Chains A and B, each alone.
Chain A
């Protein structure tokens, strides 16, 4: 059995509400008892409630596998990059350091690297991955390209990422605003690291006001700027 090739994983951090439902559900899976293979972190809680869920992106040329001295990380024919194979993994942590997305984790107590394998036990028998099934905001979505296009006409899937000079193509798609996808088909991740998280993005384009105060606010404006303490 394999993951059907018409089904894909789509990730939209813009939708994420940080509820950790994905982590709580992921930790239920028998193959990695009690541990969540999905990572969810605040970008900077002091400044924003923005959170980012990170699943394994399942690279077409997985860096983790390329740097593995024990050849413990295999990519299946359907494109899923598996967790480390127990007999081979030497827990050296090369993959942890090398993965551009920060996905693999080393479990010192078990002497093994474990990571998201797109719920292979579920996806290979026609089910959706657990995180994408429960995700209340559907920041994590599993389905066909037709479904995502019909459900999300304002967004477009991107699966090419630029890390400095390295370009990576992945099985997992990240949803970006459609208007951006046409001008920037790559996500430049290293460049994005310099952008500070926004407390919120808001566009206030007002046609006109009776009070005569036309206003177009700075998209990054602090909605609490005028409040005295």
Chain B
């Protein structure tokens, strides 16, 4: 059924100031609530990041709560039921899950259970989930869907700066000389950022956009770099080479605040203009122009997103951008910023506090003995009992395939749609002895579950989220969970209790979890110890690090304002201890050789076209929510294959024809959208759909060796006019 639009004439009982449930911008919004139902929205113009602005997803997000698909009871797999599931009492479901986990762990060891989390959860939930996996389940095998999102940027940030956070608030963009956007379709994936860019342009900034497609924001940029998918590191190396040749460098900054420039300069030497232009598809004059604008600017902001990060070379691509920033010396000052756009709501906070396989709360390292001792102390366990590093989310599935992991608990993750080569993922899900999913709608992955526990929508719980700028914001509860559904943190604690290991899982509220998280993060790089719910509400967000104890003097402080801009001259951090602004013992940032490597499964004679994937503005991630919101479905109902008219003409495909794209993993038949706004050697398919419309049937599971991010943004593919309309064409997508 179509998302039932509620009457707009009903007056709300109250307005709840909170944030959008979707992307990492975390726009402030007021939800209209009446009789325990969200019935509409009103812009929240006081919230400083978006000042009332919202994208179409934010405008219509209020419709999700009243959707008939909302899970209100626990479900168990039941082949005799037409839906494949039948309801069971919540407590029975919890007991069944605990019994299955117990059985599997007794037979195969603690590590036979895997846990998958997600970065749309509040920080409190991600903290609790990490603690639950390691303390209650005693398994090292927890990872999260930020693995598909933020890990390349995060790894590069840690290698270069020693800290993983956008360095500056977005307001630093306005007033800069140059803004460089590398691999980010801001207009569709983070629409609110567009206004910052246009504001900057009105104040004189030149806008550089690097993308294989002329995205809506690229249409009017000052310099468009039409990069061939997967060639970004070469672009950055060439630009740095020109800056070196022209001496467009900040020598004083490089000498005083960095190490490693010489090796980077040595590497860049091979990236001459002709070679780079040939390899990357960016014309020589455009490379030269980018270098001139970037090299001679006095102020600048560079940011990137999945376009350069979703690669088997994603960390190197990200490091390439950081090298440009460090060579310019434009960081740690007003109007001088660097950042990476997070995809999910809590893409930042969700990676800091323990659901990532190699990290402990506070961005601590799970392999560092000192870090382990501190967290074990907070959790009241012996350090040797704390599991070591696990494996990334894709490797976790390979472990399922090999029979090493036999039970899986998944929350806020839809790997059947979102992981590459997803036929493999489906096979793995069917191999599991036991699979429990916590969800609010039955997502495509949860269809494979043995038990589904009804969790909470974002508006049904409170907690904190850390958005794109590093600003911690507060999600406020608007309505109660319906039926037997309950807050995710309660479900996790109910499981701990049923497993007979409730010690450390008796929190009475998200606020209590946050208070423990403050302690757990204290002294870590991501120090939240000075953050309180009250402070967030009062200041409309607090940027971490925010200390409860002065890292320099050790004195207690209760009014630390937080840190909107990192690396300011003279700033003190607990790693450098005063020796410099960056988070290394010597206080210096690191240049890293950012080596170009061609993509895995690159275009070839057999598969001559580049396939790239991404988002459209009205849909979000695997579509579990947005494919259920009628007006958003109407805006962009089904995926299409975007292709250039020259490619289409060569293959005899006209706009609107069915076309089949094929890779080494699978094929997909969708309608063609023939447009001049994409490289003629590249096709684009958005990834928000499941089943036969899923772009990830085609993508390659090649991963970055450091970050383990999959290479979603390029693989070799071939394209032809379809022989016939696909089977699914006759059956409409369940109209939601």
Name A's B-contacting residues (CB within 8 A): 14-21, 23-25, 27-30, 33-34, 45-51, 128, 130, 133-138, 151-155, 199-207, 209-211, 213, 215, 217, 222-224, 226-229
Contact = CB atoms under 8 A, between A and B. Distances in A.
A137 B198 contact: yes
A133 B43 contact: yes
Nearest to A30: B8
Contacts of B5: 34
29 contacts: A15-B198, A17-B194, A17-B617, A18-B187, A19-B191, A19-B216, A21-B53, A21-B54, A21-B191, A30-B9, A34-B5, A45-B675, A46-B674, A49-B677, A130-B43, A134-B43, A134-B52, A137-B198, A138-B195, A199-B677, A200-B224, A202-B223, A204-B223, A205-B289, A213-B284, A227-B281, A227-B681, A229-B647, A229-B650
B59 interface: yes
A202 to B, nearest CB: 6
Contacts of A223: 214, 224, 226
B198 A49 contact: no
B68 interface: no
B202 A153 contact: yes
Contacts of B201: 154
Interface string B212-241: 001111111111101000000000000000
Given A134-B54, A204-B286, 4 more contacts: A25-B59, A154-B201, A211-B274, A217-B285
A202 B207 CA distance: 11
B285 A213 contact: yes
Nearest to A138: B195
A16 to B, nearest CB: 8
A23 to B, nearest CB: 8
A47 B43 CA distance: 34
Interface in B193-208: 194-195, 198-199, 201-204
B617 A133 contact: no
Contacts of A134: 43, 52-55, 58-59
B216 A21 contact: no
A199 B221 CA distance: 11
Max chain B C-beta neighbours (<10 A), residue from A33, A138, A207: A138
B219 A200 contact: yes
B618 interface: yes
Interface residues of B, number: 72
B365 interface: no
B283 interface: yes
Contact of A17 (B40, B216, B674): B216
Contact of A18 (B216, B245, B650): B216
Interface string B50-64: 001111101110000
**A-B pairs, 10 with minimum CB distance:** A17-B187, A136-B191, A17-B216, A215-B285, A24-B56, A30-B8, A24-B59, A137-B194, A152-B202, A134-B54
A128 B43 CA distance: 10
A97 B676 CA distance: 33
Interface string B669-691: 00001111111110000000000
Nearest to B608: A229
Contacts of A46: 645, 655, 674-676
B498 interface: no
Given A17-B194, A21-B56, A49-B219, A199 B214 contact: yes
A204 B679 contact: no
B218 A200 contact: yes
A143 B7 CA distance: 30
Given A24-B60, A200-B224, A19 B215 contact: no
A211 B278 CA distance: 14
B541 to A, nearest CB: 19
B54 A25 contact: yes
A199 B218 CA distance: 10
Contacts of A45: 673, 675
A19 B216 CA distance: 9
Contact of A204 (B203, B285, B631, B677): B285
A206 B295 CA distance: 13
B195 A209 contact: no
Contact of A206 (B187, B199, B245, B285): B285
Given A46-B675, A49-B214, A224 B195 contact: no
Interface in B24-66: 40-41, 43, 45, 52-56, 58-60
B386 interface: no
Contacts of A155: 202
A199 B655 contact: no
B8 A28 contact: yes
A184 to B, nearest CB: 19
Given A19-B191, A25-B59, A134-B52, A14 B220 contact: yes
B441 to A, nearest CB: 21
B475 interface: no
A51 B54 contact: no
B194 A48 contact: no
B309 interface: no
B292 interface: yes
Contacts of B226: 223-224, 227
B491 interface: no
Contacts of B55: 19, 21, 134, 136
Contacts of B219: 48-50, 199-200
Contacts of A153: 202-203
A7 B9 CA distance: 27
B52 A28 contact: no
A24 B198 CA distance: 22
Given A28-B40, A204-B223, A51 B216 contact: yes
A217 B617 CA distance: 32
Nearest to B193: A136
Contacts of A210: 242, 245, 273, 288
Contact of B52 (A133, A201, A207): A133
A48 B676 CA distance: 7
B644 interface: yes
A17 B198 CA distance: 11
Contacts of A16: 216
A135 B8 CA distance: 20
Nearest to A201: B220
Nearest to B204: A154
A29 B9 CA distance: 8
A227 B608 CA distance: 13
B242 to A, nearest CB: 7
B511 interface: no
Nearest to A208: B288
A28 B58 CA distance: 13
A17 B217 contact: yes
B8 A211 contact: no
B174 to A, nearest CB: 9
B192 interface: yes
Contacts of B675: 45-47, 49
A211 B285 CA distance: 9
Nearest to B40: A28
Nearest to A202: B224
A23 B55 CA distance: 10
B577 interface: no
A205 B645 CA distance: 29
A154 B191 contact: no
Contacts of A24: 56, 59-60, 631-632, 635
A211 B273 contact: yes
A34 B4 CA distance: 11
A29 B43 CA distance: 13
A7 B325 CA distance: 41
B45 A209 contact: no
B67 interface: no
B309 to A, nearest CB: 22
B188 interface: yes
